[in-house]
Structures are given as structure tokens and as C-alpha cells.
A and B are shown apart, each in its own frame.
Chain A
Amino acid sequence: MNIEQFLYHEARLLDTQQLEAWLDLFTDDAVYWVPLERDQKDAAETSSIVHDDRTLLGLRVQQARHPRAHARLPLARTVHQVSNIVVVEESGETLRVASTLGLIEWRQEKQRVWGALVEHQLRRANGGFRIARKRVDLVNSEAELDGIAILF
């Protein structure tokens, strides 16, 4: 699988709500990060919209499946549009890949459009890739936002 196909595959898992399969794309030491601030460097002493290690990300997926997850029942329907894919760096088995994300979200008569600069750190594994790190910089991360119960 090439890089583009992998990123499209990831987006399709999210858009078809195969969240457990999406989670399996991540390595055990993965970090999934949606910073709160523009150009944010630090996640320990500055808050993040999402700053999950693999365990927390797993809990996030579990919550989405809980029968009383009020904000997630039903899950929002989404379209993740991934484009502008550029390999920023490649060293050994690790690649840094930049892309842009356009996302349409709809749930209970609320429709939102998101835009983000995304960076994946991918590791080659078994002829494909695993995600070691994913950073999603929303263009409006500092805005006044309604609750977020989707995955970017």
C-alpha cells in the first residue's frame, strides 16, 4: 500500500465508523494530538483539544460504543477529505507526511466544516504502515467551539 492509499484508507475507516479498525492503525506508543493553540510546542503545560496516548485513544473509542454516550449516540456522520499529501521527511522505516484535511460533520441538525493541517508520523510495517504520531492543527482551534465528539 502506498502512502496516499494508506491515508485514504484511514479516512474511510473513520467515515464508515470502523473505529476499532482505525485504532488498530496506531502503534502501541502512538500519540494522537489536536493542539489547542496555534504553533503549539508543548502538551504537558498547555492544554490540548485532544492529547491521547494509545490507552486514552482506546478509551475514546470505547466511549463512542457505550449505550449511554449521550453526545455520541448517534455518532456524527463525517466525510474526511484528505489532500495535499507531501512526504516531509523519510529516514529508515519512519516517514513524516503532511496533508490537509477538509471535514464535513453532521449530527442532529448541526453541520460543521473543519479544516486542518495534518502531520502523520508513519512506520513501515508488514508492507504497510502504522501511525506512530498524528497531529491535527485545526484552523479554528482557538475559536469558540461547540462540543467535539468526532475523531479527526
Chain B
Amino acid sequence: MAANEQLAMLVQPDRVHRSVYADPAIFELEMERLFGRAWLLLGHASQARAPGDYFTTRMGREPVIVVRRDDGEIGVLVNRCMHRGSTVCAEGRGHVERFVCPYHGWSYDRGGELRFVPIAAGYAKQDLANLRLKAIPRVSVYRGFIFASLAASGPALEEFLGPAISSFDDFVDRAPGGELEVAGGVFKHAYNGNWKLMLENHLDGVHPAYVHASSIAVARAAPEPGTPGAEHYFDIAVRQMRQNGAPEALWESIGLWTTPRGHGWLGDYHTDKRLTGGEEHPVYKQYRKALISKCGEAEAERILGVTRWNTIIYPNCSFMSQFRQLRIIHPLAVDRSVVYTYSFRMRDAPQQMFRDTVAFANVVNGTASWVLTDDLEVYERIQRGFASGAVEWAYVGRGHGADVDEPGGTRRGASGTSEVFIRAQMGAWLDYMTQQ
């Protein structure tokens, strides 16, 4: 395996070979050629505000530390001592003066330079002089979102994001204070399935009616949402789950865009305007007023007129501005993935909007939620199916032949339920995997 010609045979215009999801050798190659090359989203500047603030994460399977350096910039270091290989930093987040290895006390500064080695006399000085925590070669921050690439060269972040950069603008522009911050806790959910299955699900407008049939049904039977001032905690949940059962015609009409690097976004299918434009709701009025005072009425109208559901940044991120959720997927094995789900608070927005974000996260994206649990069940069932060698291909031909290339470099699905996003993701996959 691994000759480029062989890889190219696995991805065809309207079908994908099962081994792309199930072959451990291909997964190993993905870690090298795809996660080893692409820009990966690691987190947000608000997770490390002051020098010494750090959080740990993964790039592909590499354990890394994201740290605010003394010069105020973000650095990304491999979490591995140069001596005996131990991680130098506990998992999670916190604040450090130095990263001190627990094994022999080697200590590194916030930039990764080796500053102290106990009983150093035993070592040749010039050997130690060449040692430091390995720095990830490329780090770039766009409007607070921290990206890094394991590859020393490649396209700049802005070029990589291409037209999908507008989804980050949409996300940040909505904050009356001009900034977002990560808040409210992190859900970490895992499943026995390939990492691509999540990214392929988040722009799929056909699955909600079927995967989420049970939560749609119970939401329809739930009490009606309360009037302003008399809402229930669960209103936002009930509204969202009901809308997953929107009529086919709505899904067809919402718009679906992709980019050559596999990114994409789906138009919003929530006709409910409680959060996104409910002109009469007091919380919305307060929010709109705050936004206008920041940027003027015309600009506020432009910002609020953008209606996007999930945006995929290939290969490791999915986010939505409307409910302010962002997910980072970490591939662990060909059939094992873990997803970190973050909530964001918009600076200077009404407090209730963040409370709604938390409620939304709990009932839709949470590890024990009505909605996500059924997605995870289906990912695992797909993985079991793809593990079978009895059938070789997965058919992804919905809308094939009718995709529309637009000026500006986007490709639009013929309808909101086109499988154009899977074709775009697999096209990007093949580019990374066969690039020299």
C-alpha cells in the first residue's frame, strides 16, 4: 500500500473505498501526510492569555503544549523531554514559570529553551547546548483562533483557509465586544470510529430526520417554549431538536459550500429566530443594541444577516457561530476518535445568550445528550460496516454532476443536501496523501 497510484484509486468522483476509513496502514499514512502537513486548529487565545498560561492538546497523535511566551506570542512545543522522553507538562491547562521534567528535573523556559539541568557537570556542555523542547515549526493565529502545522513549509494560514475564513469572521464579528472567549467547560466524547465520520456528518442535511428521529419526536411532544420572561431552561433544546425535523424543502434550500482544501459550511436551517434574529425578544434587542453601538447599524445588520450552521475546517475542526460551539477532533486510531467540544462567550453580549449556549451544549452536543448520542451510535455502526471486506465501496453521489463552481473559489452543492462536502473532503484528502 501507499503508492500514490494506489491511493488515487480509493477516491473516485462519486464513491470512496472502505479502506480509507478502515485500513490501519492508511491511517498511519494520514498521520504523516495529512495531519503532518495541514494547519490544525489547536484552540483559542483566551485559553492562554498571560505569559506562562498554557494548555495541552494533540496534533494528530503528537502531545503538544500551547503556551503564551514571554514575548506575548503563542508558541507550540512538543510535550516531551529531550532527555528520557517523559512529558514535561501535566495534561490540562494552567500557568508555569518553567516546564520541569518530573524524571530528572530538567527545566525549560516558556519558549522551550533548556535552562537548567541538575548535576550538569556529567554532560558535555556542547551536547546540552543543542537541546531544547521541540518547537512546532509554524504557528499562526487568526482572530484569536490558534493554528499550527507540523510541516516546516506550506501555504500560509489565510491561503489554507481560503473562502472559509469568512466563517471565523462571522463567529467573531457577532461579539459586541469584538472578542470571544472559551468558557463553560469542555465535553470530551469518544467513539469507535474513524475521524472522518464526524466531519462528514456535520454538513449532512439528510441525516437529522433519521438519526435524530427519537429526539425530534420527544421535542415535538414537549411543552411549548415560554414567552419572553417566562422561558424554560429547556426551550432552546426543544427548539433545536424540533428543527432537526424541518421539512425536506427547507434542507434543500439552505445552501452548502465547499472549498478546494476540503473546508465547507452549511446554511442555517433554524427558522426560529430566538438567538439569531428574534427581533422582538428583549434579550435579542439588548444584544442588537450592543452590536450597533460597537459597529453602527448598517454593519450590525450585515453581521446578523449571515446565517451559517456548521463550518468544517478540514481536517480537524467544526464550529458554529449561531450557538457558539467549536469541536476539535483528535484521531487516535483508524477506528477510534475523540472530540473536544468548546463553548464560547461573546464579549459584551447579554448574559442570557451564554446561558443558552450552555443549555444548547448540554442537550445537543453533550456526551449524554439526546442528539449527539445517536450520532455516535451511527458512527460506530458505519465503522462496523466498513470493517467488512464483503463490500468495497461507499457511494457518495448525491448531487454529483450538479455541483456549481462559483467565483471566489467555492463550490456550491446543487442543493443543501448534496454530498458535495464529502467529495470536497475526499478531494482534499487525496491531495494531501499524494503530495510529494
Assess whether B373 is in contact with A71, with CB atoms less than 8 Å apart. yes
Q: Tell me whether A36 is interfacial, beta carbon within 8 Å.
A: yes
Chain A residues lying within 8 Å of B237, measured Cβ to Cβ, are 56
Chain A residues lying within 8 Å of B381, measured Cβ to Cβ, are 70
Which B299-344 residues have a C-beta within 8 angstroms of A? 338, 343
Q: How far is the CA of A62 from the CA of B220 in the complex (A)?
A: 12
Chain B residues lying within 8 Å of A72, measured Cβ to Cβ, are 214, 373
Q: What 0/1 readout, one digit per residue, does chain A (22-58) give for beta carbons within 8 Å of chain B?
A: 0000000000001011000000111111110101100
* Residue among A36, A51, A59 facing the most chain B CB atoms (10 A cut-off): A59
Please pick, from B188, B362, B370, the residue contacting A144 in the complex, using a CB distance under 8 A: B188
Give the bracket for the number of chain B residues in contact with chain A. 35 or more
Minimal beta-carbon separation of B87 from chain A (angstroms): 17
Q: Tell me whether B187 is interfacial, beta carbon within 8 Å.
A: yes
Assess whether B362 is in contact with A51, with CB atoms less than 8 Å apart. yes
Assess whether B343 is in contact with A47, with CB atoms less than 8 Å apart. yes
Assess whether A68 is in contact with B185, with CB atoms less than 8 Å apart. no
Assess whether B373 is in contact with A147, with CB atoms less than 8 Å apart. yes
Chain A residues lying within 8 Å of B361, measured Cβ to Cβ, are 47
Assess whether A36 is in contact with B214, with CB atoms less than 8 Å apart. no
Minimal beta-carbon separation of A32 from chain B (angstroms): 11
Chain A residues lying within 8 Å of B183, measured Cβ to Cβ, are 45
Chain A residues lying within 8 Å of B186, measured Cβ to Cβ, are 47
Assess whether B368 is in contact with A70, with CB atoms less than 8 Å apart. no
Q: Tell me whether A145 is interfacial, beta carbon within 8 Å.
A: yes
Which B199-237 residues have a C-beta within 8 angstroms of A? 210-211, 213-215, 217-219, 221-223, 232-234, 237
Assess whether B189 is in contact with A146, with CB atoms less than 8 Å apart. yes
Assess whether A143 is in contact with B376, with CB atoms less than 8 Å apart. no
Q: With A53-B233, A55-B232, A63-B214 known to touch, is A148 a contact of B223 (CB < 8 Å)?
A: no
Assess whether A147 is in contact with B234, with CB atoms less than 8 Å apart. no
Chain A residues lying within 8 Å of B366, measured Cβ to Cβ, are 47-50
Q: Tell me whether B377 is interfacial, beta carbon within 8 Å.
A: yes
Q: With A70-B214, A145-B367 known to touch, is A47 a contact of B189 (CB < 8 Å)?
A: no
Chain A residues lying within 8 Å of B282, measured Cβ to Cβ, are none
Q: How far is the CA of A36 from the CA of B340 in the complex (A)?
A: 13
Minimal beta-carbon separation of B69 from chain A (angstroms): 27
Q: Tell me whether A87 is interfacial, beta carbon within 8 Å.
A: no
Which B357-409 residues have a C-beta within 8 angstroms of A? 358, 361-363, 366-368, 370, 372-374, 376-378, 381
Q: Tell me whether B63 is interfacial, beta carbon within 8 Å.
A: no
Chain B residues lying within 8 Å of A34, measured Cβ to Cβ, are 368
Minimal beta-carbon separation of A111 from chain B (angstroms): 13
Minimal beta-carbon separation of A135 from chain B (angstroms): 15
Chain A residues lying within 8 Å of B343, measured Cβ to Cβ, are 47
Assess whether A145 is in contact with B189, with CB atoms less than 8 Å apart. yes
Q: With A70-B378, A72-B214, A144-B189 known to touch, is A45 a contact of B368 (CB < 8 Å)?
A: no
Q: Tell me whether B184 is interfacial, beta carbon within 8 Å.
A: yes
Q: Tell me whether B35 is interfacial, beta carbon within 8 Å.
A: no
Q: What 0/1 readout, one digit per residue, does chain B (19-49) give for beta carbons within 8 Å of chain A?
A: 0000000000000000000000000000000
Task: Using A144-B188, A144-B190, A147-B373 as known contacts, list a sample of 16 further A-B pairs with CB atoms less than 8 Å apart, ordered by residue number in A.
Answer: A44-B355, A47-B185, A47-B358, A51-B362, A55-B223, A56-B234, A62-B217, A68-B210, A68-B214, A71-B377, A72-B214, A144-B189, A147-B191, A147-B377, A148-B368, A149-B368
